[in-house]
Amino acid sequence: MNISKCICVEGRSTISFDDAIKYESITYDEILFNKLEVVDLNAIRYNAERFSALTNTKLCAVVKANAYGHGAEETVNALEGVADFFAVSLIEEGISIRTAVCGKEILVLTPPTDEEEGYALAVNGFIASVST
């Protein structure tokens, strides 16, 4: 793999303490511990489009854990028309983004552990995974 052609399909940036005080909804802890990150969904979309153009392959957008804190539904909406399918960790996450994905397939990365979960995968039309 040529490392120079790899890109991170992400759109966040950590902002400085000085910039943090400009935002009205920031808590003291976020400023104190410099935990605030600004998510730029346009950057996520741009990076995904660029990645797709460079690789000419299908793109699976992994939006598990609330899209790693970016907001699952917001990220799915930002990637509409770019991502070919989506992946989540849990069945519940797939259910929560089902409407936003506009009919695209959803892969559930955690294998079903019992018959009930297998049934939920099938009923919702999700792609199941297996692991060893």
Is the pLDDT at 104 greater than 90, yes or no? yes
Compute, in degrees rounded to 10, the torsion defined by CA atoms 51, 57, 58, 61.
-30
What is the number of alpha carbons within 13 Å of residue 82 lying toward its C-beta? 23
Which of 83, 49, 51 lies closest to 67 in space, CA to CA? 83
Which of 94, 91, 89 lies closest to 76 in space, CA to CA? 94
**Residue 132 pLDDT:** 82
> Counting Cβ atoms within 10 Å, is residue 101 exposed (0-12), middle (13-18) or buried (19+)?
buried
Q: What is the mean pLDDT of the chain?
A: 79
Is the pLDDT at 122 greater than 70, yes or no? yes
Residues 6+ apart with CB under 8 A from 77: 41, 100
Average pLDDT over residues 7-15: 43
The pTM of this model reads: 0.72
Q: Is 44 within 8 Å of 67 (Cβ atoms)?
A: no
Is the pLDDT at 105 greater than 80, yes or no? yes
**Residue 28 pLDDT:** 52
Is the pLDDT at 9 greater than 50, yes or no? no
> Counting Cβ atoms within 10 Å, is residue 127 exposed (0-12), middle (13-18) or buried (19+)?
middle
Average pLDDT over residues 107-114: 96
Q: Is 48 within 8 Å of 82 (Cβ atoms)?
A: yes
**Residue 7 pLDDT:** 33
**Residues 35-64 pLDDT 10s:** 556 678 888 899 899 888 888 889 999 999
Which of 64, 39, 47 lies closest to 9 in space, CA to CA? 47
**Residues 14-32 pLDDT 10s:** 444 455 445 555 555 555 5
